[in-house]
Amino acid sequence: MTLSSKTFLVVDDEADLREIICSELQYMGAKTFEAENITLAKSILEHHHIDLIISDIRMPGGSGIDLLNFVKAKNTSNPPLILITGFADVSCEEALALGAEAIVSKPFQLEELIRLAIRFTIPLEERFSQYPYRSEEQVEVNFSETLVEKISLNELSIGRGGIAIILEVPEIEWSKGKIIHLCLRFKEKEIKTVAICRWYKAVEHSSKFQVGLEFLGFTGESLQILKSFWTQNYLIPFIPELS
Protein backbone atom coordinates (compact mmCIF):
# COMPACT_ATOMS: atom_id res chain seq x y z
CA MET A 1 0.00 0.00 0.00
CA THR A 2 1.27 3.47 -0.86
CA LEU A 3 0.65 6.88 0.65
CA SER A 4 0.22 8.68 -2.66
CA SER A 5 -2.10 11.70 -2.53
CA LYS A 6 -1.46 12.02 1.24
CA THR A 7 0.29 14.98 2.86
CA PHE A 8 2.17 14.70 6.14
CA LEU A 9 3.61 17.18 8.60
CA VAL A 10 6.66 16.01 10.58
CA VAL A 11 7.48 18.15 13.61
CA ASP A 12 10.77 17.62 15.44
CA ASP A 13 13.69 19.82 16.46
CA GLU A 14 16.09 17.06 15.35
CA ALA A 15 16.73 17.68 11.65
CA ASP A 16 18.19 14.20 11.05
CA LEU A 17 15.13 12.45 12.43
CA ARG A 18 12.78 14.67 10.42
CA GLU A 19 14.72 13.83 7.27
CA ILE A 20 14.64 10.08 7.94
CA ILE A 21 10.88 10.04 8.54
CA CYS A 22 10.10 12.32 5.60
CA SER A 23 12.32 10.33 3.25
CA GLU A 24 10.45 7.12 4.07
CA LEU A 25 7.06 8.82 3.68
CA GLN A 26 8.14 10.26 0.33
CA TYR A 27 9.34 6.82 -0.76
CA MET A 28 5.78 5.61 -0.04
CA GLY A 29 4.45 8.32 -2.35
CA ALA A 30 3.50 11.00 0.20
CA LYS A 31 4.08 14.72 0.16
CA THR A 32 5.73 16.05 3.32
CA PHE A 33 6.21 19.28 5.24
CA GLU A 34 8.79 19.71 7.99
CA ALA A 35 8.71 21.92 11.07
CA GLU A 36 11.38 22.34 13.72
CA ASN A 37 9.04 23.92 16.24
CA ILE A 38 5.37 24.37 17.12
CA THR A 39 5.15 27.92 15.76
CA LEU A 40 6.17 26.81 12.27
CA ALA A 41 3.92 23.74 12.51
CA LYS A 42 0.89 25.91 13.28
CA SER A 43 1.68 28.17 10.32
CA ILE A 44 1.87 25.17 7.98
CA LEU A 45 -1.45 23.87 9.30
CA GLU A 46 -3.07 27.25 8.67
CA HIS A 47 -1.99 27.31 5.03
CA HIS A 48 -1.99 23.67 3.88
CA HIS A 49 -4.20 20.61 4.05
CA ILE A 50 -2.46 17.97 6.18
CA ASP A 51 -3.65 14.35 6.32
CA LEU A 52 -1.56 13.33 9.35
CA ILE A 53 0.91 14.89 11.80
CA ILE A 54 3.90 13.11 13.33
CA SER A 55 5.30 15.16 16.21
CA ASP A 56 7.94 14.84 18.87
CA ILE A 57 6.74 15.77 22.35
CA ARG A 58 9.76 17.53 23.87
CA MET A 59 10.90 20.53 21.81
CA PRO A 60 12.08 24.08 22.56
CA GLY A 61 9.37 26.72 22.46
CA GLY A 62 6.40 24.39 22.83
CA SER A 63 5.66 20.70 23.17
CA GLY A 64 3.93 18.14 21.02
CA ILE A 65 1.14 18.21 23.61
CA ASP A 66 0.68 21.92 22.92
CA LEU A 67 0.36 21.12 19.23
CA LEU A 68 -2.07 18.29 19.98
CA ASN A 69 -4.29 20.63 21.99
CA PHE A 70 -4.17 23.21 19.19
CA VAL A 71 -5.17 20.65 16.56
CA LYS A 72 -7.97 18.99 18.54
CA ALA A 73 -9.48 22.34 19.52
CA LYS A 74 -10.12 22.93 15.80
CA ASN A 75 -11.21 19.44 14.73
CA THR A 76 -11.36 16.28 16.82
CA SER A 77 -10.59 13.84 14.00
CA ASN A 78 -8.57 15.62 11.32
CA PRO A 79 -5.72 15.63 11.00
CA PRO A 80 -4.84 12.62 13.17
CA LEU A 81 -1.69 13.03 15.22
CA ILE A 82 1.00 10.54 16.23
CA LEU A 83 3.27 11.56 19.11
CA ILE A 84 6.90 10.49 19.44
CA THR A 85 8.78 10.61 22.72
CA GLY A 86 12.12 9.57 24.14
CA PHE A 87 11.14 10.46 27.70
CA ALA A 88 8.42 9.67 30.22
CA ASP A 89 6.72 12.98 29.38
CA VAL A 90 3.26 11.48 29.17
CA SER A 91 1.82 7.99 29.53
CA CYS A 92 0.08 6.17 26.71
CA GLU A 93 -3.18 6.48 28.66
CA GLU A 94 -2.80 10.26 29.01
CA ALA A 95 -1.80 10.81 25.37
CA LEU A 96 -4.75 8.84 24.00
CA ALA A 97 -7.14 10.59 26.39
CA LEU A 98 -5.87 13.98 25.18
CA GLY A 99 -6.71 12.98 21.62
CA ALA A 100 -3.54 11.55 20.06
CA GLU A 101 -4.17 8.58 17.79
CA ALA A 102 -0.95 6.89 18.93
CA ILE A 103 2.22 7.45 20.92
CA VAL A 104 5.53 5.89 19.83
CA SER A 105 8.57 5.62 22.07
CA LYS A 106 12.14 6.22 20.89
CA PRO A 107 13.97 4.27 19.62
CA PHE A 108 11.21 3.06 17.31
CA GLN A 109 10.98 0.92 14.22
CA LEU A 110 10.39 3.07 11.16
CA GLU A 111 8.21 0.31 9.70
CA GLU A 112 5.87 0.55 12.69
CA LEU A 113 5.55 4.31 12.28
CA ILE A 114 4.69 3.90 8.59
CA ARG A 115 2.14 1.21 9.42
CA LEU A 116 0.43 3.64 11.81
CA ALA A 117 0.56 6.39 9.19
CA ILE A 118 -1.21 4.13 6.69
CA ARG A 119 -3.78 2.99 9.23
CA PHE A 120 -4.81 6.49 10.26
CA THR A 121 -5.04 7.89 6.73
CA ILE A 122 -7.37 5.33 5.17
CA PRO A 123 -11.18 5.65 5.29
CA LEU A 124 -12.86 4.50 8.49
CA GLU A 125 -14.76 1.64 6.85
CA GLU A 126 -11.58 0.28 5.30
CA ARG A 127 -9.58 0.72 8.50
CA PHE A 128 -11.99 -1.41 10.52
CA SER A 129 -12.87 -3.99 7.88
CA GLN A 130 -9.39 -4.98 6.72
CA TYR A 131 -7.18 -5.88 9.63
CA PRO A 132 -4.49 -8.62 9.75
CA TYR A 133 -4.94 -9.28 13.45
CA ARG A 134 -5.35 -12.72 14.97
CA SER A 135 -6.10 -13.75 18.54
CA GLU A 136 -7.47 -16.82 20.25
CA GLU A 137 -8.45 -14.78 23.31
CA GLN A 138 -12.19 -14.16 23.52
CA VAL A 139 -14.01 -12.14 26.16
CA GLU A 140 -17.78 -11.83 26.50
CA VAL A 141 -19.27 -9.37 28.97
CA ASN A 142 -23.01 -9.14 29.68
CA PHE A 143 -24.59 -6.01 31.14
CA SER A 144 -28.10 -5.53 32.51
CA GLU A 145 -28.02 -1.85 31.51
CA THR A 146 -28.32 -0.19 28.12
CA LEU A 147 -25.21 1.31 26.54
CA VAL A 148 -26.30 4.83 27.51
CA GLU A 149 -27.05 3.75 31.08
CA LYS A 150 -23.61 2.13 31.37
CA ILE A 151 -21.98 5.34 30.21
CA SER A 152 -24.04 7.39 32.71
CA LEU A 153 -22.73 5.18 35.53
CA ASN A 154 -19.19 6.20 34.54
CA GLU A 155 -18.28 2.55 34.08
CA LEU A 156 -17.76 2.82 30.34
CA SER A 157 -16.64 5.57 28.01
CA ILE A 158 -16.29 5.56 24.23
CA GLY A 159 -13.64 7.50 22.36
CA ARG A 160 -12.97 8.12 18.68
CA GLY A 161 -10.89 4.98 18.40
CA GLY A 162 -11.46 2.87 21.46
CA ILE A 163 -13.20 2.26 24.73
CA ALA A 164 -12.44 2.46 28.45
CA ILE A 165 -14.39 0.05 30.59
CA ILE A 166 -14.56 -1.09 34.20
CA LEU A 167 -14.80 -4.85 34.63
CA GLU A 168 -15.67 -6.93 37.68
CA VAL A 169 -13.28 -9.84 37.38
CA PRO A 170 -10.46 -10.31 34.86
CA GLU A 171 -11.74 -12.69 32.19
CA ILE A 172 -8.21 -13.15 30.88
CA GLU A 173 -4.70 -12.16 31.87
CA TRP A 174 -4.52 -8.58 30.60
CA SER A 175 -1.31 -7.12 29.24
CA LYS A 176 -0.43 -4.16 27.04
CA GLY A 177 -0.46 -5.12 23.41
CA LYS A 178 -2.72 -8.13 23.86
CA ILE A 179 -5.27 -8.55 21.07
CA ILE A 180 -8.67 -9.97 21.95
CA HIS A 181 -12.04 -10.69 20.40
CA LEU A 182 -14.49 -8.76 22.58
CA CYS A 183 -18.27 -9.02 22.76
CA LEU A 184 -20.09 -6.45 24.90
CA ARG A 185 -23.77 -7.32 25.33
CA PHE A 186 -25.98 -4.52 26.57
CA LYS A 187 -29.70 -4.58 27.30
CA GLU A 188 -30.63 -3.40 23.81
CA LYS A 189 -27.60 -4.11 21.60
CA GLU A 190 -24.19 -5.74 21.39
CA ILE A 191 -20.82 -4.59 20.16
CA LYS A 192 -18.41 -7.12 18.70
CA THR A 193 -14.88 -5.96 18.05
CA VAL A 194 -11.29 -7.06 17.75
CA ALA A 195 -9.34 -4.78 20.08
CA ILE A 196 -5.85 -4.28 21.45
CA CYS A 197 -5.16 -3.50 25.09
CA ARG A 198 -3.43 -0.13 25.40
CA TRP A 199 -3.57 0.17 29.20
CA TYR A 200 -5.11 -1.43 32.27
CA LYS A 201 -5.11 -0.65 35.98
CA ALA A 202 -6.87 -1.49 39.21
CA VAL A 203 -9.72 0.67 40.49
CA GLU A 204 -8.82 2.15 43.86
CA HIS A 205 -10.60 0.70 46.90
CA SER A 206 -12.26 -1.93 44.74
CA SER A 207 -11.72 -5.41 43.35
CA LYS A 208 -12.63 -4.04 39.91
CA PHE A 209 -10.20 -2.91 37.25
CA GLN A 210 -10.39 -0.75 34.17
CA VAL A 211 -8.92 -1.30 30.75
CA GLY A 212 -8.38 0.90 27.71
CA LEU A 213 -8.90 -0.87 24.38
CA GLU A 214 -8.24 0.38 20.86
CA PHE A 215 -10.65 -0.85 18.20
CA LEU A 216 -8.96 -2.76 15.38
CA GLY A 217 -12.01 -4.10 13.58
CA PHE A 218 -15.70 -4.90 13.91
CA THR A 219 -18.10 -7.65 13.01
CA GLY A 220 -21.79 -7.45 12.18
CA GLU A 221 -23.50 -4.10 12.75
CA SER A 222 -21.11 -3.00 15.49
CA LEU A 223 -19.31 -0.39 13.39
CA GLN A 224 -22.62 1.26 12.48
CA ILE A 225 -23.56 1.43 16.18
CA LEU A 226 -20.27 3.17 16.95
CA LYS A 227 -20.49 5.48 13.93
CA SER A 228 -23.91 6.61 15.13
CA PHE A 229 -22.48 7.32 18.59
CA TRP A 230 -19.51 9.22 17.13
CA THR A 231 -21.83 11.32 14.97
CA GLN A 232 -23.99 12.32 17.94
CA ASN A 233 -21.14 13.14 20.32
CA TYR A 234 -18.21 15.57 20.28
CA LEU A 235 -15.30 13.31 21.19
CA ILE A 236 -11.73 14.51 21.66
CA PRO A 237 -10.18 11.42 23.37
CA PHE A 238 -9.03 8.62 21.08
CA ILE A 239 -9.36 6.31 24.07
CA PRO A 240 -10.90 8.07 27.10
CA GLU A 241 -9.97 7.80 30.76
CA LEU A 242 -12.50 6.93 33.44
CA SER A 243 -12.22 9.13 36.53
User: Which residue intervals of the chain are DSSP H helices?
Assistant: 15-27, 38-47, 64-74, 92-98, 110-119, 124-129, 147-152, 222-232
User: Are 115 and 151 part of one and the same domain?
Assistant: no
pTM score, two decimals? 0.93
pLDDT at 88: 78
User: Are 191 and 223 part of one and the same domain?
Assistant: yes
Q: What is the length of the chain? A: 243
User: Are 108 and 77 part of one and the same domain?
Assistant: yes
User: Are 12 and 117 part of one and the same domain?
Assistant: yes
pLDDT at 87: 82
In a domain, 238, yes or no: no
Q: Which of 122, 155, 171 marks a domain boundary?
A: 122
User: Are 26 and 74 part of one and the same domain?
Assistant: yes
Question: Which residue type does 86 have?
Answer: G
**Neighbour tally for 113: CB within 10 Å:** 19
Asked if 159 and 239 count as a contact pair (C-beta separation under 8 A), the reply is yes
In a domain, 42, yes or no: yes
User: Are 118 and 180 part of one and the same domain?
Assistant: no
pLDDT at 220: 81
In a domain, 241, yes or no: no
Q: Name which of 206, 25, 19 is nearest 117 in CA terms.
A: 25
In a domain, 86, yes or no: yes
Q: Please, is 184 exposed, middle or buried when counting C-beta atoms within 10 Å of its C-beta (0-12, 13-18, 19+)?
A: buried
Which residue range is the domain that position 166 belongs to? 138-232
Distances from the Cα of 155 to the Cα of 14, 184, 209, 230, angstroms = 42, 13, 10, 18
Angle, to 10 degrees, between the axis of helix 64-74 and the axis of helix 38-47?
A: 20
CATH classification of the domain holding 102: 3.40.50.2300
Q: Which of 122, 149, 182 marks a domain boundary?
A: 122
CATH classification of the domain holding 142: 2.40.10.220
Render 204-239 in DSSP notation, one character per residue.
TTSS-EEEEEEEEEE-TTHHHHHHHHHHHS----SS
Q: What is the mean pLDDT of each run of 10 residues along the chain (243 residues)?
A: 91 96 96 97 97 96 96 92 90 96 93 94 87 75 94 95 88 85 94 94 85 92 94 95 86
In a domain, 237, yes or no: no
In a domain, 166, yes or no: yes
Count of domains observed in the chain = 2
